[in-house]
Structure 1
Amino acid sequence: MPHAPLRLAVACATLAAAATLAAPVAHAAPADDIRINEVVTTGSVDDSVELFNKGAAPVDISGWILKDDNKSSKFTVPAGTTLAPGAARAFDVHAAFGLGSSDKARLYLPDGGTLVDEYGWSAHSAPSWSRCPDGTGAFAKAPLTLGALNSCGSGGGTSPVAWPGGSAVATADGSNVFGEDLSGLYQEGAVLWGAQNSGKLWRLVRDGSGGWRPDTANGWSSGKSLRYPGGAGSPDSEAVTLTGAGAAGGAYVATERNGDASGTSRLSVLRYDVAGGTGGSLTAAKEWNLTASLPAVGSNLGFEAITWIPDATLVGAGLKDETTGAAYDPSRYGPHTGGVFLLGVEGTGAVHGYVLQDSGTATRVTTFASGMPGVMELQWEPQAARLWLVCDDTCGGEHRTMKIGSTGTFAPTAVHARPSGMPDLNNEGFAVAGAEECVGGTKPVYWADDSNTGGHALRRGTLSC
């Protein structure tokens, strides 16, 4: 069991397949620094064991062995796997052995005989057995946060406070314009972009009464169907964002699977050129497939949220790069979009930050827990320099805000209930207006209801500036 103090930090992974990562240099460090940190035996993800480095130096754990309570069981950590200080890595072990309701997770050095750490339980995880604090504390039932800091305490231990804006909420679309499955939102001035799960992207313009309607120009009147690079497939589009270049730089869509192969996870970010063209479909100019770099989740429990934060903002706030253990340095990654994309996973509630390089490779630079069972939307609000994390009716429409704290990772700043005038809707989209729309101390915000309750998918509220 652990003895040394923990220095909180963020999760680390060595990206593979289409997402690649330059691994940090490993230094000699005692095996005692590596601990089993989280165990999942049932639920939305496959049986998994997470390891955590509670020490002060990187540790190469290539060839280390995980077992259950059966001596013949064996999962070998892949070659080239290094854990940075304060970093975590989750391993899907179900193909090697199953974790039962009364079982153990055991960690050995590559010799297979030197026991490093173990944890035993007498009931299935619900949904996770997690150390609190990470790497040093006792195990307890907690929300699933594989690959991220553990969520200690119910819902992060914080009760929601009142919505920081008006209580009234109104519909912001016509009757049955979109139907079900309207998900992610992103406002760009006089345009509201919307991602629909059926593989469709919408460009919405103001309707003159505080709401939005489909743009009728350039083939956007019914939304545009999305395709993977090459023109095939039907991406399950869950969220959309733009970079500092605006629409001229392309729309970035987060997807969790190909609708033509809906039983298989495909956690990708796709870039679409949306500034021109009049056709009814869009073919992705580039895909960053990040599936191999993340813990396995169900095919309908993958990426649900995406937002982009400029490099200058992250450097100024002191973001810590999990690949190096040092301050984030954008120049290390060559040509990219000038920022980091944060992606929220429904099945784990974790948020992962990637640099998407122009070459088509990707580097994960930060990971943290949302503190919610699932994160359905992310929005960076430049005016307040804060990150919004939104949950749907799974957790009563809870909204959280985070900022980069003293440890160099995102830390909670507030937990808010939904506006009192809004029912507990299946809101999977959230957009915040820019500072230029502040009037009388408030500005508009918008939600997308995946269920199209009452024939309306969009709703409008206010937020204090």
Structure 2
Amino acid sequence: MTPLRRSLMLLAACAAPVLGLGVLPAQAAPTDDIRINEVVTTGSVDDSIELVNKGTATVDISGWILKDNDNGSKFQIASGTTLAPGAFRAFDVDGKFGLGSSDKARVYLPNGSTLVDTFTWTSHSNPSWSRCPDGTGAFGPATLTLGAANSCSGSGSGSAWPGGSTIANADASNVFGSDVSGLFQDGTVMWAAQNSGKLWRLLPNGSGGWTPDTSNGWTSGKSLRFTGGSGTADAEGVTATGGNVYVASERNGDASGTSRLSVLRYDVSGTGSSLTATREWNLTSNLPSVSSNAGFEAITFVPDATLTGAGFKDESTGVPYNPAAYAAHAGGVFFVGVEGTGMIYGYVLLDSGTYTRVASISSGFAGVMELQWEPQASRLWVVCDDTCSGKHKTFAVNASGALAVTATYDRPSGMSNINNEGFSLAAAAECVGGFKPVFWADDSNTSGHALRKGTVTC
């Protein structure tokens, strides 16, 4: 809208009572540029409405009113609130009204009767109802991006990486070769799983990266065997808890044409050059069939207390997860990611060798290459490789007790689209200036380096 046209419209609105023309509708005013852009009804930021300015001029929205489907309740925007062109502003309306599973969001001018925009839905957001493109498109399910540009399902877009853009090598040249797939930082130790059937124990190298431990037989990594000492575990993901290391394996490398989706537990306290699993949980029969090279790629562990505190629902019972209902186990749930289907599954792995599946979650990615639980933020990181242009997602337990997407991030701008199959975050204790280190494992060993480092906000 040109400045001249806007001036004429405002003049006409002022003259309307004299000329008998009536009040111009909201659609003809500059405020037509303000639109509801995102609505969240569940989760940690439930009952929120985001507005966007899709126009070319700043709009003063002081005193504007937000409502749900009930005319008896309202949220009034504070005086002095403006929206610049292209800006987003989210409002937490929970203190004034709740947004239900079948409801609407409405925005009015300060007079409370001139409707500017409205959006109606018939089921809760999971986690967000968002316009795509911003301000002009239709609403659909999407990741949560309140206060920022939307990231809609299927749009392929993500938010900017929540950390620094600078990426650096985190290993010396040609230490590991190809096939390093899984990472897990366990205090001052980094565990690295390699597809060729190896586990590496890495120590800080003094410059922010990692180098192989040279004691107790770890210099070249240790070979991984199944229980009984047979076979070669195709190690894809790794995590640790209770003094043991757990590896997600998609097959026996000595029978590579057969899928074998297993979680293997290892005692890593010995000095030998190989490790024999002390327990195998073969989950193949409990999961949809996949090719032998498209199985487990990731594993992470979430403590029982964390899940019960968040109200996590057990899909096997349909009620909140109750650890006491299970026999002896590691004290939490293991989540595994499948490359071929992009699915995430949660299992209680009993010490006896049996198991119960307690969660089945679609990642929305073509494949899952890494999973990491971040205790500091109570969120699950889900990583795709160059297949998805290096995108990452975060999930958290929502109000319904399910793990649901909270954000989708592009890879850091300083990182090429390489075959990152491993990802690990440092602990909260390493936060400096609001950032902490993160690390990636490149399965292709691009330019002779398998490990890279960056940062993420704390």
TM-score w.r.t. length of structure 1: 0.66
SS of 1:268's equivalent in the other structure is: strand
- Picking from 260, 265, 290, the partner of 1:266 is 260
Identify unmatched segments of 5+ residues in structure 2.
Answer: 1-41, 43-122, 125-140, 144-150
- Work out whether 1:308 is the aligned partner of 2:301: yes
Q: State how many pairs are aligned.
A: 314
Q: Residues of 1 paired with 2:340 and 2:160: CA distance?
A: 27
* Equivalent in the alignment of 1:358: 351
> 4+ residue runs of structure 1 moved beyond 2 angstroms?
150-159
**Partner amino acid, structure 2, of 1:264:** T
- Work out whether 1:389 is the aligned partner of 2:387: no
* Structure 1 residue 159 displacement after superposition: 2.5
Q: Residues of 2 paired with 1:437 and 1:198: CA distance?
A: 32
- Work out whether 1:464 is the aligned partner of 2:457: yes
Q: Residues of 2 paired with 1:294 and 1:156: CA distance?
A: 25
- Over residues 293-317 of structure 1, what are the superposed CA-to-partner deviations in whole Å (9 max), with x where a residue is unaligned? 0000010000000000000110111
The percentage of aligned residue pairs carrying the same residue is 66
Higher relative contact order (CA 8 A, sep 6+): 1
Q: Superposed, which structure 2 residues align to 1:60-79 within 5 Å?
A: none
The answer to whether the 8 A contact 1:231-1:283 is kept is yes
Q: Residues of 1 paired with 2:142 and 2:282: CA distance?
A: 27
Q: Residues of 2 paired with 1:441 and 1:321: CA distance?
A: 35
* Structure 1 residue 158 displacement after superposition: 6.6
**Partner amino acid, structure 2, of 1:256:** E
**Partner amino acid, structure 2, of 1:375:** V
Q: Residues of 2 paired with 1:159 and 1:173: CA distance?
A: 31
* Equivalent in the alignment of 1:278: 271
**Partner amino acid, structure 1, of 2:370:** E
- Over residues 126-176 of structure 1, what are the superposed CA-to-partner deviations in whole Å (9 max), with x where a residue is unaligned? xxxxxx99xxxxxxxxxxxxxxxx999985557201000000000000100
- Over residues 323-357 of structure 1, what are the superposed CA-to-partner deviations in whole Å (9 max), with x where a residue is unaligned? 11111111111100000000000000000000000
SS of 1:205's equivalent in the other structure is: strand
The answer to whether the 8 A contact 1:155-1:372 is kept is no
TM-score w.r.t. length of structure 2: 0.67
* Equivalent in the alignment of 2:286: 293
- Picking from 426, 430, 435, the partner of 1:437 is 430
- Picking from 319, 332, 338, the partner of 1:339 is 332
* Equivalent in the alignment of 1:161: 159
Bigger Rg, which one = 2
Q: Residues of 2 paired with 1:229 and 1:156: CA distance?
A: 42
* Structure 1 residue 406 displacement after superposition: 1.6
SS of 1:230's equivalent in the other structure is: helix
Q: 1:437 to 1:151 in 2, by over 3 A?
A: closer
Q: 1:449 to 1:411 in 2, by over 3 A?
A: same
The answer to whether the 8 A contact 1:156-1:372 is kept is no
The answer to whether the 8 A contact 1:151-1:369 is kept is no
Q: CA RMSD in A?
A: 1.9
SS of 1:436's equivalent in the other structure is: helix
SS of 2:320's equivalent in the other structure is: coil
The answer to whether the 8 A contact 1:238-1:254 is kept is yes
Q: Superposed, which structure 2 residues align to 1:24-63 within 5 Å?
A: none
Q: 1:266 to 1:154 in 2, by over 3 A?
A: farther
- Over residues 441-464 of structure 1, what are the superposed CA-to-partner deviations in whole Å (9 max), with x where a residue is unaligned? 100000000000000000000011
* Structure 1 residue 421 displacement after superposition: 0.3
SS of 1:316's equivalent in the other structure is: helix
Q: 1:291 to 1:154 in 2, by over 3 A?
A: farther
Q: Residues of 2 paired with 1:157 and 1:308: CA distance?
A: 30
**Partner amino acid, structure 2, of 1:297:** V
